Amino acid sequence: MSEDVHLSQICMDFGSFRAVNNVEVTIKSGEFFSFLGPSGCGKTTILRLISGFMDPTGGAVKIGGKDMKGIRPNARPTALIFQNLALFPLMPVWENITFGLEVRGVAKEVRRAKAEELLQLVDLHDSADKKISQLSGGQKQRVAIARALAVEPKVMLLDEPLSALDLKLRQHMRAELRAIQKRTGVTFIYITHDQGEALAMSDRVGVMSQGVLQQVATPQEIYNNPVNEFVASFVGENNVIGGKVKSVTGGIASFETAKGTFSAKLGPNVAVGDVSKLFVRPEFCSLGSSTDAKENSIPVEVTEIAFEGNFVNVFVRDGSGDTHMVQVQNDPATPPPALHTTCHMAFNPSSCMILSEAVNGRSGH
Amino acid sequence: MQELIRRYGIGLSVVMAAMTAFWLFALVVIPNLVLFKFSFRVYLPVDQLGGPNDVYTLKNYLTFFTSPIHINVFFTTILYSSLVTGICLMITYPLAYVLAKVLKPTDTATFFLILLIPLWVSEILRSFAWFIILSNQGPLNALLMGIGLIDKPIRWISGYQSVIIGLVYAYILFMLFPIYNAISALDTNQIEASEDLGASMWRTHWRVVIPHSKPGIASGCVMVFMLCAGSVIVPSTLASTSSRWFTEIIQQWMFEGLDWNVGSAYAFLLLALCIVFVSLVMRLLNVRLVDIAK
Ligand SMILES: Nc1ncnc2c1ncn2[C@@H]1O[C@H](COP(=O)(O)OP(=O)(O)OP(=O)(O)O)[C@@H](O)[C@H]1O
Ligand SMILES: [Mg+2]
């Protein structure tokens, strides 16, 4: 039987404040799904709704087709890994890991064996009898994962579990988590405000803002075809140009701005005559000589060059004083234009989009 | 100490240290040492002081061990002090949990204020209030009969009943605060993690909340037990004809018998045996003194 997690039009109100607004998504069994969004957008609230610490004020949480309303966390097939891990400091590592089995009345020898097995799985040998306080941050992380896996959950819920770790360890644990998920086949619902993390680990990402799920799609789709301004600017960098949609032919719109008229893909919820914004990623822009002016190009002057190693960020200023960023590969054979030279910034119509504002979940409630 | 000097300067630090030392020595250590010395001396008429009979002796302590009634009262005191401690714990633990983890902080503050206001009234008045409440024609019986729970008044002031009720009331806050503090310090996520892993509410308390709050529980129990065993006002105000508290016997020796020597010996016996009892219980529950002091 499939153990899909279906959030059916869920809303969560705290008094008059709507923390989660009409979220509708189905997370497939065995999927690695991330909720990505800024602080306070309602990510943790969604996780607590799924794990059962509260019931939604509207809509329903369904796991495997079954409405979970009124079912406490201890009776749901989910296991939550807390933002601060919440390991039990008074129990040794192995008792922590098998706490879920202990409360189910599993005999001590069986539990001990299970603990050893799970410690192997998370790559932590010889730590069964250690105290929690004797572990490093990354080791605690693994114990928390093992403790959640011990109860053989259908769905694993992870609330920014890597945010407290340093960069190196975080990258290592990303790969580790992903590997554990593949090995066990458990559905992972992962929460993060780190776009890199979400894009790198997930099968699908749900981008949230102000309690509203703005877009659910694969990482590529989220990055290349964001549905609105919020998604575009929260995930990745953009150059933004304001203007008005003049006409549309075959999905490509003619966009009139103070810097000239551009061709760009028309995003959802934008129509002819709308005042809107055009978004283009820095790596989709190129810099050419002033003479070969073509479609979608703006005359600019190079104001700053930031060398980042494998690529170079070139900052340019256009005639109206706005700064844009162009990202080019680091290649000694074709160096970027020198500082203060004038040139043209150009971009392909198929790699830029005209997008509408985000859906706001909290006003008008 | 260096921290103290750095923060308040040398002058103020010396004053503070001196005040603490004065409190400790002049008001606690020295009077107790004097009484301790008293307990080994003989009670003599003034003209025999310094005479051949004025010697050090264990006779005062032996008085206790050769008097079955006193031994009986002593163990009754220990027994009922333990009972009061147990009752306080039973009432307080759930209350402390609700205050620390269930109620909103603003409600908790209101609740504590309501609990603390009665403390502005002196212990004697509060005990006497209970005497009135519990009396045969008192409000409690009137209430119980009014709502039809009983059909004739209960004699509350008989045996040790009224003393126990009075002591529970008098010292319950000394149990509430340490347990409340201990539970407040527990990360709520731990309770939720336990539930999320499948534990029932009882199991969560048994494995997570109680082990965490054990120092607070122990601290509250020691405090309530010691206060009960050493209480004078409550057991004498709410005494029935058949209740006797060990402190009353000490008081009789000192103020009715005017024999401070036997009185001191009894007081030290009470102290010593209470310490032994408390240490035993702590050993049994596997808590250390340092945990309690935290
Ligand atoms: N129990 C509660 N009572 C009232 N408001 C709450 C409660 N829990 C959360 N909120 C509000 O709901 C909003 C969303 O909170 P939530 O914890 O889900 O954010 P988040 O996306 O997890 O943020 P972060 O990344 O900072 O953890 C916040 O504005 C928060 O103040
Ligand atoms: Mg959160």
Contacting B residues, span 193-222, partner chain A, CB-CB under 8 Å = 193-200, 203, 207-208, 211-212
Whether residue B287 contacts residue B214, with contact meaning beta carbons closer than 8 Å, is answered with: yes
- Chain segment A317-338, per-residue pLDDT in tens: 998 899 999 999 998 888 888 8
Q: State the pLDDT confidence band at B26, using cuts at 50, 70 and 90.
A: confident
| Inter-CA distances, B188 with A150, A156, B104, B183, Å | 22, 20, 13, 9
Query: A167, A200, A229 — which closes off a domain?
Result: A229
Using a 6 Å cutoff on CB, does residue A210 contact ligand 1? no
Pair A78, A198 in one domain: yes
**Count of residues making up chain B:** 294
Strand partners, A194: none
Q: Which two tokens stand for residue B175?
A: 């149990």
Pair A138, A253 in one domain: no
A210 Rama sector, left if φ>0, alpha if ψ -120 to 50, beta otherwise: left
Nearest Cβ partner for A88 among B190, B196, B203: B190
Pair A153, A298 in one domain: no
Query: A229, A251, A286 — which closes off a domain?
Result: A229
Whether residue B162 contacts residue B128, with contact meaning beta carbons closer than 8 Å, is answered with: no
Domain that holds residue A13: 5-229
Give the mean model confidence (pLDDT) for residues B222-238.
Answer: 91
Q: Which homologous superfamily does the CATH classification assign to the domain defined by B69-293?
A: MetI-like (1.10.3720.10)
Whether residue B230 contacts residue B278, with contact meaning beta carbons closer than 8 Å, is answered with: no
- Chain segment A100-153, per-residue pLDDT in tens: 999 999 999 999 999 999 998 888 888 999 999 999 988 998 899 999 999 999
Residue A262 pLDDT: 93
On whether residue A363 sits in a domain, the answer given is no
Residue of A11, A18, A36, A45 to mutate, ligand 1, most atoms within 8 A of C-beta: A45
Chain A positions touching B212 (Cβ under 8 A) are: 90
Question: What CATH number did the domain enclosing A301 receive?
Answer: 2.40.50.140
Pair A153, A74 in one domain: yes
- Chain segment A209-231, per-residue pLDDT in tens: 999 999 999 999 999 999 999 99
DSSP H or E run through A304:
strand A297-307
Whether residue A302 contacts residue A314, with contact meaning beta carbons closer than 8 Å, is answered with: yes
On whether residue A198 sits in a domain, the answer given is yes
Global confidence as pTM:
0.82
Query: A201, A229, A257 — which closes off a domain?
Result: A229
Sketch the domain layout of chain B as residue ranges: 69-293
On whether residue A333 sits in a domain, the answer given is yes
List strands edge to edge, sheet with A297-307. A285-288, A342-347, A297-307, A311-318, A323-329
On whether residue A120 sits in a domain, the answer given is yes
Using a 6 Å cutoff on CB, does residue A44 contact ligand 1? yes
ipTM of the complex: 0.81
Whether residue B38 contacts residue B30, with contact meaning beta carbons closer than 8 Å, is answered with: no
Q: Which of B93, B94, B126, B99 is nearest to B112 (CA)?
A: B99
Nearest Cβ partner for B196 among A73, A91, A104: A73
Whether residue A158 contacts residue A81, with contact meaning beta carbons closer than 8 Å, is answered with: yes
Chain centroid to Cα A18, Å, comes to 22
Pairing of strands A311-318, A297-307: antiparallel
Pair A112, A190 in one domain: yes
Residue A292 pLDDT: 61
* Cα of A44 from ligand 2 centre, angstroms: 4
Residue A290 pLDDT: 63
**Number of separate domains in chain A:** 2
Helix axis angle, B161-184 to B105-116, nearest 10°: 150
On whether residue A365 sits in a domain, the answer given is no
